[in-house]
């Protein structure tokens, strides 16, 4: 099998920032073991594969793989996939529809941004998970949960200073497979509403540079907390990335830019 492979930095204004994703357009689907092996070989947080949903269809089946597992939802690799379709594959429709394990996802142009329409995930408060604060290396003031755990801190500086014990964190998270969203209000005058970092050692990713899917949880929380529907989020990983978000009730709109890094061909 031969296939094109694109490496795209998502939620980035230029190469070397945001979150890198590999994107592999397909005509037909190989066995799942081949998809997983390609993702492991790429050794990026996510490799996205898509193929036309049917002859003459304007929709695509989209799947996401970390180096170790297939996941239900990935924001930055969805953004990167839409970028590849619109910028490199001469797709003429104003909207892209992806059929996924999380339902239909739509991406469209919004000025110089790409806007993704994702399902909202509204977190519910939970007691402090035993050992989590120690593994994170900080003291959250609130915990909540969807498919991920959200840990709220008092300041952006506290989130930036976290230095997790990843083996301990992985041991805590492996039974559920959850990731941890560490978030706090942004500093006044920064131009952002809130900041975050995302840790997912149970998925083979100690820290994800920019995580679109995590904002399905954090945006509804901060929209209610701050009393506004439009928010600018900054993920303060080493690479960093900016997301322009809208709380739309049962949906979350997440916008960002992409930068091309590499184009090639794989043969397996």
- Collapsing DSSP to helix, strand or coil, 194 comes out as strand
Q: How many domains is the chain partitioned into structurally? A: 2
Which residues sit opposite 119 in a β-bridge?
251
CATH of residue 205: 3.10.310.10
| Residues catalogued as catalytic | 46
Residue 184 pLDDT greater than 80, yes or no = yes
| pLDDT (mean) for 27-43 | 96
Considering the chain, what percentage of its residues have pLDDT values greater than 90?
90
pLDDT band at 94 (very low <50, low <70, confident <90, very high): confident
Q: What is the pLDDT of residue 123?
A: 94
Q: What is the pLDDT of residue 92?
A: 80
Give, for 84, the enclosing helix (H) or strand (E).
helix 75-88
Residue 56 pLDDT greater than 80, yes or no = no
pLDDT band at 83 (very low <50, low <70, confident <90, very high): very high
Shared-domain flag, residues 32 and 56: yes
3-class SS shares of the chain: helix, strand, coil, % to 5: 20, 40, 35
pLDDT tens per residue across span 123-173: 999 999 999 999 999 999 999 999 999 999 999 999 999 999 999 999 999
Considering the chain, what percentage of its residues have pLDDT values greater than 70?
99
Residue 230 pLDDT greater than 90, yes or no = yes
As a whole number, the mean pLDDT across the chain is 95
Residue 57 pLDDT greater than 80, yes or no = no
Q: What is the pLDDT of residue 90?
A: 80
pLDDT band at 84 (very low <50, low <70, confident <90, very high): very high
Q: What is the pLDDT of residue 203?
A: 84
Shared-domain flag, residues 33 and 112: yes
Which residues lie closer than 8 Å to 17 by C-beta, 6 or more apart? 9, 239, 240, 241, 259
pLDDT band at 177 (very low <50, low <70, confident <90, very high): confident
Buried b (16+ CB within 10 A) or exposed e, 14-51: eeebbbbbbbbbbeeeeeeeebbebbeebebbbbbbbe
| pTM beyond cutoff 0.75 | yes
Shared-domain flag, residues 130 and 202: yes
Q: Say which DSSP state 122 is in.
A: -
Shared-domain flag, residues 18 and 100: yes
Q: Which domain holds residue 231?
A: 124-249
Residue 100 pLDDT greater than 90, yes or no = yes
Shared-domain flag, residues 89 and 137: no
Which residues sit opposite 231 in a β-bridge?
245
Which residues lie closer than 8 Å to 216 by C-beta, 6 or more apart? 73, 75, 118, 119, 120, 121, 146, 252, 254
Q: Which of 91, 88, 121 is nearest to 107 (CA)?
A: 91
Residue 265 pLDDT greater than 80, yes or no = yes
Shared-domain flag, residues 68 and 107: yes
Shared-domain flag, residues 112 and 138: no
Which residues lie closer than 8 Å to 95 by C-beta, 6 or more apart? 106, 107, 108
Q: Which of 102, 96, 114 is nearest to 59 (CA)?
A: 96
| pLDDT (mean) for 57-62 | 88
């Amino acid at each position: 099998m031969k296939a094109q492979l694109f490496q795209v930095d998502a939620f980035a204004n230029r190469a070397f920032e945001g979150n890198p994703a590999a994107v592999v357009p397909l005509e037909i689907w190989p066995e799942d073991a081949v998809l997983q092996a390609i993702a492991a070989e790429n050794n990026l947080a996510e490799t996205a594969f898509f193929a036309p949903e049917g002859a003459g269809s304007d929709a695509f089946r989209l799947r996401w793989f970390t180096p170790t597992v297939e996941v239900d939802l990935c924001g930055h690799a969805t953004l990167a996939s839409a970028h590849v379709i619109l910028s490199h594959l001469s797709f003429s429709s104003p909207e892209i529809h992806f059929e996924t394990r999380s339902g239909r996802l739509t991406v469209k142009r919004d000025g110089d941004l790409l806007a993704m329409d994702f399902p909202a995930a509204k977190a519910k408060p939970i007691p402090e998970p035993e050992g989590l604060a120690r593994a994170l290396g900080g003291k959250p003031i609130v915990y909540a949960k969807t498919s991920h755990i959200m840990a709220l801190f008092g300041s952006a500086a506290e989130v930036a200073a976290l230095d997790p014990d990843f083996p301990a964190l992985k041991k805590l998270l492996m039974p559920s497979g959850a990731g941890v969203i560490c978030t706090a209000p942004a500093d006044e005058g920064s131009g952002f509403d809130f900041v975050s970092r995302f840790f997912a050692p149970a998925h083979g990713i100690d820290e994800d540079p920019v995580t679109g899917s995590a904002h399905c949880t954090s945006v509804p929380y901060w929209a209610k907390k701050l009393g506004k529907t439009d928010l600018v989020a900054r993920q303060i990983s080493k690479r960093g990335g900016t997301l322009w978000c809208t709380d739309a009730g049962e949906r979350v709109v997440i916008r960002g830019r992409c930068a091309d890094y590499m184009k090639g061909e794989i043969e397996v």
